[in-house]
Amino acid sequence: AYAVVSQDPLLLSFLYLVIALAIAAVLPPHVFVAASVLIVAVSTAYTAPLLSSSAAVYVTDVMVLLIACRGALPRDRVPSNHALAGWPTVLFSAWALMMVVAALRGVSAGVELASVVRGDVALVYWPLLYFGFTRVLREHALRTSLLWRNLAYVALSLAAWMFIARVLNKPFEDPGLARVPTGDGDVVYRNFGFAGAFVVYPVLALAGITGMAHGGERRRQWTLLAVVGTAATLITLVRGGIFALVLGAVVVLLLRPRVAEKSARVRTVFQLGLAIAAFSAGLLAVNPELGNAVVQRVIPATDQAEEAEANAEYRQKAVEAGLETAYAHPLGLGVIDVNRLDAEQIDRGYLAHSGAATLLLFGGWPALLTAVLAILAVLWRSFQFPAPTPWLHPLFVGVLSMLAVYSIGAAGLAGDTWVIPLGALAVALRFTLPLREPPSGSTHVLPNALYP
């Protein structure tokens, strides 16, 4: 009772944390995972730290801790299958060791511990998220059909809110990020709905494309996911996300289905092409400014605004700065703060604009090499490991490839607090779900009949 009436911010934060832990503990696993994705996606709507003491704690930090705590709770669980034992674990451990060394070097160089932890956030997030998600997905109470349905509803709801916000001309939460110059002084404003949700849309699109191409039942529902996700990705006007989606879709369509009779790749390309053409024509008719902006972002051969070209060059310079630093310091500089960046004459914004540059600056060639090899090892293991559905393996390969490529021109898997959770969840879903759905005695849709 004292905590309720107290004005002490630390005590109130503790009370809120206890309430959040209680809710996280009682939610069914298939609800908890979907709720985690939703909270991470909308977390950018609240930019102020939840707790400001020696280190700032944000919404995503709390969500990561809740996921890890839920995984640590005693539950009846399916035994671990150790799907990533061997090279994937060895290479990830090697990358983690490189990042630990980078953190220690940062501390020894005088960087504050809070800045080191925040800068090396991937080292903290990845193990906690993978531990938590895999433990939750192994709970006996998990209903996989409900899990897929809930994840689909979350993604569709985020996309729907983005469409509504744009129709209502609701101001975007990040005015600086919203401006997209299209030339001759013209500006189109972005609106993701929630700034952290934009990475969900290409994942939604890939899920739909994979279901269409690799034998997912209820084809109309998969088509809905593909069209909504693709349209939402295009409207974000995030060129890195658009190009990464194209790469992910190509990967998905190139993979040969394990059941050849269920292949519908050619049909999927034709249907998706028609849908995108119809959407583009409609968008150009209803909102020519936005339609032209989409065309500029999708087709590099079109005339680009000077500001757009400058933005692309800035990201390229971020990668080049990482390479130059790695050539001069093969083991990197350690985790660095703004003071060290200024001393090294490195632009402060480079870390946020390239995950590859972040790894090179912090840990040099060993950090980048072990990260790339770890991703390749996980992808290769997916080709060897059985999947409960015909579409899960190609979807995972497409999503991880997309996120990895996106991380070249953005912090992504190496530092974005709304991208790392999606990557960790993708790995956990691919290698943790049971090969058959336990009987539940109920029927579900969107998607349905997931298990043979």
Question: pLDDT tens digits for 126-171?
Answer: 999 999 999 999 999 999 999 999 999 999 999 999 999 888 877 6
pLDDT number for residue 448? 44
pLDDT number for residue 218? 73
> Residue 288 above 60 pLDDT?
yes
Name the pLDDT band for 2 (thresholds 50, 70, 90): very low
Q: In this predicted model, what pLDDT tens digit does every residue of 10-41 receive, in sequence order?
A: 676 677 788 888 999 999 999 999 999 999 99
Q: In this predicted model, what pLDDT tens digit does every residue of 36-65 receive, in sequence order?
A: 999 999 988 777 777 766 678 888 999 999
Strand 56-57 relative to strand 51-52, pairing: antiparallel
pLDDT number for residue 264? 78
State the alpha helices, DSSP H only, in 120-218. 121-137, 144-167, 175-178, 200-213
For 179, phi and psi rounded to 5 degrees? -70, 125
> Residue 232 above 50 pLDDT?
yes
Q: Tokens 């220690």 map to which residue? A: 104
Neighbours of 108 (CB within 10 A): 9
> Residue 441 above 80 pLDDT?
no
pLDDT number for residue 443? 41
- Copy the structure tokens of residue 70: 């839920």
Measured distance CA(187)–CA(411) in Å, rounded: 25
pLDDT number for residue 15? 77
Measured distance CA(396)–CA(382) in Å, rounded: 8
pLDDT number for residue 261? 54
pLDDT number for residue 251? 94
pLDDT number for residue 3? 47
Domain ranges within the chain, ordered by starting residue: 2-432
pLDDT number for residue 98? 97
> Residue 250 above 50 pLDDT?
yes
Q: In this predicted model, what pLDDT tens digit does every residue of 195-214 receive, in sequence order?
A: 888 899 999 999 999 988 88
Q: Are 369 and 177 in contact (CB under 8 A)?
A: no
For 256, phi and psi rounded to 5 degrees? -80, 125
Name the pLDDT band for 296 (thresholds 50, 70, 90): confident
Q: Which residue has the higher pLDDT, 175 or 96?
A: 96
Name the pLDDT band for 260 (thresholds 50, 70, 90): low
Q: Which residue has the higher pLDDT, 299 or 338?
A: 338
pLDDT number for residue 306? 65
Q: Which residue has the higher pLDDT, 449 or 197?
A: 197
Q: In this predicted model, what pLDDT tens digit does every residue of 388-420 receive, in sequence order?
A: 888 999 999 999 999 999 999 899 999 999 999
pLDDT number for residue 97? 97
Secondary structure of residue 376 in the 3-state scheme: helix
Q: Which residue has the higher pLDDT, 450 or 59?
A: 59
- Copy the structure tokens of residue 36: 């985690």
pTM summary value: 0.90
> Residue 445 above 60 pLDDT?
no
> Residue 240 above 80 pLDDT?
yes
Highest mean pLDDT among 1-5, 189-193, 266-270: 266-270
Strand 179-183 relative to strand 56-57, pairing: unpaired
Q: Among 57-61, 226-230, 299-303, which is the least confidently predicted range?
A: 299-303
> Residue 262 above 60 pLDDT?
no
- Copy the structure tokens of residue 184: 């001759």
Q: Are 229 and 201 in contact (CB under 8 A)?
A: yes
> Residue 190 above 80 pLDDT?
no
Bond into 330 cis (ω within 30): no
Q: Which residue has the higher pLDDT, 438 or 164?
A: 164
First to last CA, the chain: 53
pLDDT number for residue 216? 61
Average pLDDT, the chain: 86
Q: Among 284-288, 403-407, 426-430, which is the least confidently predicted range?
A: 284-288
